[in-house]
Amino acid sequence: MSALTSTLKVMFRRPASGGVPIGLFVLILVALVFVAILAPLIAPYDPNTQNLLGRLKPPGTEARGVYYLLGSDELGRDLLSRAIYGARVSLAVAVLSVLLSGAVGITLGMLASYLGGWVEVVVMRLVDIFLSIPAILLAIIMVAVLGPGFVNVVLVLALTRWPRYARVAYGQTLAVSSQPFVRLATAMGAGPFHVLFLHILPNIIAPLAVVATLEFGLMILFEAGLSFLGMGVQPPTASWGAMLSVGRNYVSSAWWIATFPGLCLFLLVLSVNLLGDRLSEYLNPKSR
């Protein structure tokens, strides 16, 4: 309990250089997560219900008994409801892709470092190849091959970003594997997987958690970018990126279509990145 209390104090205290404490952005992140989880209960209307007589209505107007708090889009759908359900899509893609890419990258990185030999050569050369290609370009190519859709976007993002975890896990495992407790476990007959996942992984989880936090925000942006290009989650499913793509055609006449999804995307990514930065400072003893 005392450790949790000290962590919360670090998160919510005002930075020494002034400015807004990170706790505010943590609250924003928590609020967006709850909105995504409780979307069916919070959204005032069905996000896919069309009302052509209420199309392109500005915020605070009403048409055919539907009150558009944040306005409506080109098909008369409630923008607030679609933004709420868009949070569910963005967070679901980010969580699943981070978990999948982290599991693959951490496992391969630790195996390459601990086993060495041809395993190290093959894994690390694959890491170099993947990192030499721009991530968004690689994601677009893979989506073009596999096709758009929720599941394919998760798989593509996971296959694109696993080298980041592999490189960090590789370096951290090299440093920890020479420690006495690892050599003792090996001398007592523990197998490679026992040593890696019961002795090494708990001691390298902190830097990997920082990487996962920063990658989480990047996955949100990647999903939005793919949906903006029409290669992500397909209509009529609500997605912030797809809403931004539609909104660019109505910037001069219906500014709200792109503004509110863009603001949600900005706040979510900013909150995650600031949380990752603060987590990195907290877990790094040299920065204290």
Q: What is the pLDDT of residues 201-239, one digit of tens each?
A: 888 888 898 899 889 999 999 999 999 988 888 888 889
Q: What is the pLDDT of residues 24-37, one digit of tens each?
A: 788 888 999 999 99
- The confidence band for 6, taking pLDDT boundaries of 50, 70 and 90, is low
Is it the case that residue 166 has pLDDT exceeding 90? yes
Is it the case that residue 140 has pLDDT exceeding 70? yes
SS3 label, residue 61: strand
- The confidence band for 1, taking pLDDT boundaries of 50, 70 and 90, is very low
pLDDT for residue 3: 42
Asked if 40 contacts 31 with a C-beta cutoff of 8 angstroms, the reply is no
CA distances from 121 to 29, 33, 128, 170 (A): 40, 40, 11, 12
Asked if 116 contacts 174 with a C-beta cutoff of 8 angstroms, the reply is no
CA neighbor of 239 nearest in space, from 36, 130, 88, 122? 88
CA distances from 56 to 70, 187, 236, 245, 264 (A): 11, 71, 17, 15, 20
pLDDT for residue 16: 47
- The confidence band for 180, taking pLDDT boundaries of 50, 70 and 90, is confident
CA atoms within a 13 Å half-sphere pointing along the CA-CB vector of 104: 18
CATH number for the domain that contains residue 77: 1.10.3720.10
Domain of residue 128, residue span: 2-287
Is it the case that residue 100 has pLDDT exceeding 80? yes
pLDDT for residue 13: 54
Number of independent structural domains in the chain: 1
pLDDT for residue 243: 92
